[in-house]
Amino acid sequence: MNIRSILCALLCLVSVTALAASDLAAIRARGQLIVSVKNEGHKEVEKHRDPAHFQKRDMEVAIARAIAAHILGSPDSLSLKMMRKPERLPAVARGDVDLGISMLRVTADNARLVDFSTPYYRSGLAVLQAKDGAIAGKRDLAGKTFAVVERNDGDAAAMMAAIAAATGSAPQVILVANFKAGAEAISAGRAAGLISEAVNIDVFLARHGGDFKRSPLLTEDVFAVAVAKGNAELLGAVNEVLAALEASGELKRMASAADLPH
C-alpha cells in the first residue's frame, strides 16, 4: 500500500470516528448529549459586549435540554461545552461535540462545514441611532460612519461583510468597547449609529431607551442547530424537537423571551 492510500484510509477512519461519536446509538450509550453553547460569562449584564447574551443563551440551553429529553429521556442528560465562537463549528464538524447551539448563522460558508437544522430563530442586523435618526434601510448607510462593538471572535468583520453583501459597499467603522461607548459615540456625533444584531439593540433599548431608537432590519438572518455533516439520524431528531416546540408555541415563547430584558 503506498503512502497516499495509507493517508486516505486514515482520513476515512477519522471521519467515521467523528461521525460515530455523534450518532444516536453512541449518544444513548454515553448517556449524555454534548452541546457547544455560549459561555456563561460575567453575571453582570453591563460587563457583556452583547446586551442580549443571557436571553439568547437561556433560549438555546432550553432547546438543548428539550433535545436531550427527546433522545435520552431527561433534560438533565446534557453536557454543555463552552468555547470561543470561532471554535464551535469546527468542534461540531470534528465530532468533539454532538451539536452546536450558539446563534450560528445559516450561511453558505457555514453550511460547507456542518449540516443545519430547521431554523429556530430569525433576526438580522440593525442600527442603534438617535431618536431623530433617519436610517430606515441599507441605502441610508452610504457615506456614514458607524460604531461596531469590538470582539475577539471576528464578529465585526463578519458583520461588515454581511452589510457589504447586502448594500454593495461597507460603511466606515469605528470600533468601540461596548454598547455604552457606542451610544456615547452617537451622542457626540462621531458615529451615525451602532450596527449590531437587532435583539442586542432591543435589549439595550429596554434598559437605556431614552434618546435612542432602532432602525428596521438591514439583513435577514436565520439561526439553526449545527450537526456534523452526514449525521442524518441526529439531525432528524433535532428537527423533530424543533417542530414540536414550534407546534406547541413554545419556540415562539422562547424567541419572544430572548427579546426581553433579563
Residues 101 and 227 grouped into a single domain: yes
Which segment, 59-73, 144-158, 162-176, is predicted with the most confidence on average? 59-73
Tell me what pLDDT residue 21 has. Answer: 45
Residues 147 and 87 grouped into a single domain: no
User: What residues does 81 pair with on adjacent strands?
Assistant: 36
Range of the domain at 72: 3-122+222-258
Q: Residue 180 is placed in which grid cell?
A: 455604552
pLDDT band at 14 (very low <50, low <70, confident <90, very high): very low
Tell me what pLDDT residue 7 has. Answer: 38
Residues 118 and 129 grouped into a single domain: no
Residues 242 and 254 grouped into a single domain: yes
Q: pLDDT tens digits, residue range 112-131?
A: 999 999 999 988 889 999 99
Whether 49 has a pLDDT exceeding 70, the answer reads: no
Tell me what pLDDT residue 52 has. Answer: 57
pLDDT band at 199 (very low <50, low <70, confident <90, very high): confident
Range 185-191 average pLDDT: 96
pLDDT band at 57 (very low <50, low <70, confident <90, very high): confident
Tell me what pLDDT residue 84 has. Answer: 82
Residues 165 and 64 grouped into a single domain: no
Residues 101 and 141 grouped into a single domain: no
How many CA atoms does the CB half-sphere of 225 hold within 13 Å? 28
d(CA 180, CA 188): 12
Residues 111 and 159 grouped into a single domain: no
- Let me know: does 174 contact 185? Beta carbons within 8 Å: yes
Residues 167 and 79 grouped into a single domain: no
Mean pLDDT, the chain, rounded, equals 82
Tell me what pLDDT residue 20 has. Answer: 41
Residues 25 and 11 grouped into a single domain: yes
What CATH number is given to the structural domain containing 169? 3.40.190.10
Whether 71 has a pLDDT exceeding 90, the answer reads: yes
Residues 98 and 161 grouped into a single domain: no
Residues 215 and 226 grouped into a single domain: no
DSSP H stretches of helix in the chain: 3-20, 24-30, 53-72, 85-94, 108-111, 155-167, 179-187, 198-208, 232-248, 250-258
Q: pLDDT tens digits, residue range 202-244?
A: 888 888 878 999 999 988 889 999 999 999 999 999 999 999 9
Range 31-40 average pLDDT: 87
Residues 113 and 154 grouped into a single domain: no
d(CA 62, CA 37): 11
pLDDT band at 17 (very low <50, low <70, confident <90, very high): very low
Structural domains of the chain, count: 2
